[in-house]
Structures are given as structure tokens and as C-alpha cells.
Amino acid sequence: MRVRLTFNGQTMTATLYDNPSARDFHSMLPLDLTIDNYANNEKIAYLPRKLTEESSGPFGNEQPGDLCYFAPWGNLALFYAGYRWSSGLIRLGRLDDGFEPLLTRGEFPLRIEAL
């Protein structure tokens, strides 16, 4: 499953993993959301409803470019700097061609579509 994320005149693609949470996310597309900075390592966007948490549990190999879901808040988390797994964080997939567009600070309309 692949998705296109568009904001601030830039486009990124991501490949979703084959897990229940990623499939649930994919079933919601297309989505028009708002993306904004959070902390100093990610951009977040709140989903219209919570995803299934069947894929929850610790994971390793955290790295910039990960596309995750934070179940307690119901938001997507797109990481552009280092992070560590925390309870409630579910990895949905990875950005295909880097995360440079995420480095632009600010709040923007975000469109997510299935490819």
C-alpha cells in the first residue's frame, strides 16, 4: 500500500506496512487534514477517528522518515529527526524518498491519498 502526502506545495510518498493499523489508515483515504510541528523531531496531523490498535507493541530501529500513529491522541506522527518508541506509538510505514519537506516549519493543509 502506498500513499501520497501533499502540503506546502511539496509531495512525498510513503509505503505502508502490512499491519491492521496501516490497513485501517489506508481505508480512510483520501483525507484532508492539517499538519503542524510538534517537539523538535516530528510533524503531526490529527485523524478524524482513531485507528485500530492491533499493531501496537514495542518496535526498534526508529529513524527519521518513519510514519507512525500515536493512539492516545489519535494523530499521525511523521518523524524528521531521531525518536524512541513510546507506549501507544504504532509504526504505519516509511517515507519513500526522504523527509526533507517535513523540515519546513509551520502549519499547513495536508492531503493524503492512496496511490
d(Cα 46, Cα 69) in Å, to the nearest integer? Answer: 10
41 burial (CB, 10 Å; 0-12 / 13-18 / 19+) is: middle
Q: What's residue 8's pLDDT?
A: 94
* Predicted model pTM: 0.94
Taking only the tens place, the pLDDT of each residue in 50-59 is: 999 987 888 9
Q: Is the peptide bond before 109 cis (omega within 30 degrees of 0)?
A: no
Tell how strand 10-16 and strand 31-38 pair up.
unpaired
Q: What's residue 12's pLDDT?
A: 96
Q: What's residue 55's pLDDT?
A: 77
Q: Provide the residue type at 103 as one letter.
A: L
Taking only the tens place, the pLDDT of each residue in 9-39 is: 999 999 999 999 999 999 999 999 999 999 9
Q: What is the C-alpha end-to-end distance of the chain, expressed in Å?
A: 8
What domains can be seen in the chain, in order of their start residue?
2-114 (2.40.100.20)
Whether the CA torsion 83, 71, 51, 29 is positive or negative: it is: negative
Give yes or no for residue 106 having a pLDDT over 90: yes
3-state helix, strand, coil in the chain (%, to 5): 10, 45, 45
